[in-house]
Amino acid sequence: MSATSEEPLLRVPMSWEEYLRLPEKPKAEWVDGVAVLMTAPPLWEHSDVLARLCACLVSAGPGLLVATDTSVKLPDNRVRRPDVTIVGAVPSDGWVTEPPLMVAEVLSRSTRSEDLVRKSAEYAGAGIGQYWLVDPELRTLTVMTNVDGTWEDLVRLDDGEPEGSVEVAGVRIPLDLRRLLRN
């Protein structure tokens, strides 16, 4: 299947060994024996929001283990690469195999449905502690917590209510949507 404007993700059946031989770019995830390649490079807005989110996390908790675009092994033969991941300990072999404390996705037109539907369910089922969704188009930040494999909202910020805070690994993180999204 090729990528089109309607389906910007290229899905290519391949073995685990073939997946491991892929180059780091383009970004690829592995789901049920299929490599999911992000065919469109991230646009400025996505990268800008990602940088601002990481700066917010690192400045709030210098001891937090924050990484971008790292491989997270989920149950059932899945490897996802969230935009941001916070873990409790540095992975010994580079692969995040323990459920992260938090993952975040910056939504874009090309991956919106994958992030909102498929990844959301996979992350919840894998026991990930929190799922953050930054939506530059709708100008929202939603922070959800995992309660028995389902997501419950902790914080939802928008232009009408742009400030809040959330705790990750015992660190209170102040959030200000105006600092994450440019006007």
Is residue 18 in a domain? Answer: no
Q: Where are the alpha helices (DSSP H) in 27-137?
A: 44-60, 112-113, 120-125
Q: How high is the pLDDT of residue 7?
A: 54
Q: pLDDT under 70 in the chain at which residues?
A: 1-8, 39-41
Q: Tell me how far apart the alpha carbons of residues 25 and 39 are, in angstroms, rounded to a whole number.
A: 10
CATH code of 69's domain: 3.90.1570.10
The pLDDT of residue 39 is 66
Domain count, the chain: 1
Residue 92: inside a domain, yes or no?
A: yes
pLDDT given for residue 38 in this prediction: 74
Asked, as a colleague might, if the bond just before 26 is cis with ω within 30 of 0, I would say: yes
Is 10 part of a structural domain of the chain? no
Q: What does the pLDDT read at residue 158?
A: 97
Is the four-CA dihedral 127, 132, 135, 140 of positive or negative sign? positive
- Residue 138: inside a domain: yes
80 in a domain, yes or no?
Answer: yes
Domain of residue 130, residue span: 42-180
In a domain, 15, yes or no: no
